[in-house]
Chain A
Amino acid sequence: GAVVSQHPSRVICKSGTSVKIECRSLDFQATTMFWYRQFPKQSLMLMATSNEGSKATYEQGVEKDKFLINHASLTLSTLTVTSAHPEDSSFYICSASPGLAGGVGDTQYFGPGTRLTVL
């Protein structure tokens, strides 16, 4: 089946530093990738949708300058949390869809998540 990996699985950083999280589709080409954020004991909130080769579409309230998303290839998307602060600590999950437009008919395959802790 389709596998999505994330790296790193866990990261601890100091306040003010930037952190990059990678999301890879291992056995399929992901035209569309999604980034979610999950606070403890809460649901997933979509942060942004990215299509390969184009700018990401951010959800309302998500700072695009703080959460930089790059989808440079059909198998890799990165999320960079710039100048991280303790309130950015969260569980970040990506998903990937092989569909041309990430349409509803296409299954989203989720990565295992990255736990970010900002001290």
Chain B
Amino acid sequence: AQSVTQPDIHITVSEGASLELRCNYSYGATPYLFWYVQSPGQGLQLLLKYFSGDTLVQGIKGFEAEFKRSQSSFNLRKPSVHWSDAAEYFCASSYHSASKIIFGSGTRLSIRP
């Protein structure tokens, strides 16, 4: 069955430091992968998505993610975080030809001043 795993429940990084949020997926075919961000009490905003092609995907707000088939991973990175990046981050995947999105459990990001 399709699943998405985010092993880190909570991460704290210092402002200006680099960030990497981990995501692993489980699916037999080519996955469609997404990263969303959710601020407290808010809906979700799409940061980036991968369907095919270049495995390094650029997103909004300076985020990028790299698809690694050999590791079944789609980790999110940012070279220098800002205090405004504090939020909940969800990795998600979808089937090739369906519309349902399966979300990981989320990683809460805190920024240390």
List residues of A whose CB falls within 8 A of some B CB. Answer: 4, 6, 32, 34, 41-46, 49, 93, 95, 97, 99, 101-108, 110-113, 115
Q: How many angstroms between the C-alpha atoms of A101 and B90 in the bound complex? A: 24
In whole angstroms, what is the CA distance A28 to B97 when docked? 23
Nearest A-chain residue to B10, judged by Cβ = A41
Tell me whether B99 and A110 are in contact (CB under 8 A): no
Bound CA span A107–B90, Å: 15
| B32 interface residue (CB < 8 Å to A) | yes
Contact (A110, B43) CB under 8 Å given A43-B106, A44-B90, A104-B51: yes
Give the interface centre of A6, A44, A113, A115 by most chain B CB atoms within 10 Å. Answer: A44
What is the CA–CA distance of A107 and B102 in the complex, to the nearest angstrom?
14
Chain B residues packing against A (C-beta within 8 Å): 32, 36, 41-46, 49, 51, 90, 94-106, 108
Residues from chain A with a CB closer than 8 A to the CB of B95 are: 104
Q: Is the CB of A103 within 8 A of B99?
A: yes
The CA-CA distance from A41 to B103 in the complex, in Å, is: 13
Q: Nearest CB to that of A93 among chain B residues?
A: B43
Q: What are 16 A-B pairs at a CB distance below 8 A?
A: A4-B43, A6-B43, A41-B106, A43-B90, A44-B44, A44-B90, A46-B101, A49-B99, A49-B100, A93-B44, A102-B99, A103-B98, A104-B51, A104-B94, A104-B97, A107-B49
State how many angstroms separate the Cβ of B109 from the closest Cβ of chain A: 14
Given contacts A104-B32, A104-B94, A105-B51, contact A46 B100 (CB under 8 A): yes
Asked if residues B99 and A112 are in contact (CB atoms below 8 Å), the reply is no
Residue of B nearest to A115 (CB): B41
